Structure 1
Amino acid sequence: MKNKENGNFTTLFVLTATGGIYNLMIADYAKFNSFLTNLPISSNIDPEDGHWKPGTSIRNDFNKVEREFIKQSKTEDEAFALAHAYVLQKYNTGMTISKQDSSGNFKPIFVKETKNPTDPNKANYEQTQDCNL
């Protein structure tokens, strides 16, 4: 769906099993087109379920971050959305994800990655309000 205020934005709404409403939006078409050129849909999206294709770097990163958020007691829906926020930013897709709050407003979701100080081979992930696009 095109944004009425700015035709350069395209958005998709997703309703989860637990009632959460998320908005997936293309915010930067140049970045989005570059992403599709470098990581084409046919190589990275599973046609069976529309998810990241198993074995791809995007899917591996997604799974790793989703597991970390589940360990932090996030719901499956929250972990799923946060993992998407992470890979959308990491792979410079030009897309953002937001969640509708109780007032009906959409709040963007961002994830901050920091190196684990006790194990340099691991990272810590946390939801942040800081835009890291």
Structure 2
Amino acid sequence: MTRRTPLLINISPGDPRPIVKQIVDGVRRLVASGELPVGAAVPSVRGLAQQLTINPNTVAKAYNELTNEGWLDARPGLGLFVAPPRQRLSEDERARRLDDAVVRFTGDVIGLGYAPDTVLRRVADELAQCAPKKTA
């Protein structure tokens, strides 16, 4: 029997993102940082739904999106596992998504009144937390 790695993600009802998006973003962050290593088995749909106290259909949608994007591999009869790294999107699609994210982000923070260097420092700190963790 494969040991399932618990997903330490937080779901916040006050977050403007849908719960599916919060799960997808949380798993992406865990994989990108190395906290969820390649080949790790993720909890079942029901298991994660119980952990987060949400509807299993919501988890199924998030897992489906992560599988379609190549973050997770479905192994029939065994479950879902973290997929090996690969180029998940074309260069054009990556650039388009980055542009969209930057425009959305700028629109969200412009009214907060922070100096650009403060915003850039906070973004850099957040990205650093997502960088792969070095293991001894």
Computing the radius of gyration from Cα coordinates, the structure with the larger value is: 2
TM-score relative to the length of structure 1: 0.27
